[in-house]
Amino acid sequence: MSKCIWLTGLSGSGKTTIANLLAAQYKDQGQLTCVLDGDQIRLGLNKDLGFTQSERHENARRVAEVAKILVDLKILVIVALISPFSDDRHKARALFIPGQFIEVFIDTSLNSCINRDVKGLYTRQKKGLVKNMTGISSPYEIPINPDIHLRTDTTDAIQCCEIIKKYINI
């Protein structure tokens, strides 16, 4: 099964947690998987990019192109990327044949993300150390018609993975 599962949502919404758990579950079933996590990608492939709007577009474009290559190699790719702009997510989908790209909106309130603050970004933003913070000083365009809409305020990561797997197996 080669697909791209594209998890989008604010920082701290649970994208990486769900991506890693889902990848482990599929790996246990013998499926080749690859997680493309936004933070990890920015340490290597996209370390030359900042957080301006144009750089965010380029970040999403590069991740989508890598995901396409991996899907073509029959790998299940799970992307955990804020990808704040709907146009970038539409362009990513357009790279794949119908049914290969699954957009998953990891919907969590900004307050929950701030309270989780797993990476300390919101704390640093409040101190003026982070500019262009998605959802605060930089826009996040909520997906209008995602394939899957998960609310991690009320659904835990294991349940989220089950919902995604059920959707994929339909």
Cα–Cα distance for residue pair 130/152, rounded to 1 Å: 25
State both tokens at 109.
Answer: 């309130």
25 CB-near residues (< 8 Å, 6+ apart): 161, 165
CA distance 143 to 9: 9
From 83, 86, 137, 138, active-site residue: 83
- Beta carbons of 104 and 5 less than 8 angstroms apart: yes
The reply to whether 83 belongs to the active site is: yes
Look at residues 71, 74, 67 and name the one whose alpha carbon lies nearest to residue 92.
67
Q: Which amino acid is at 86?
A: S
Catalytic residue positions, numbered? 83
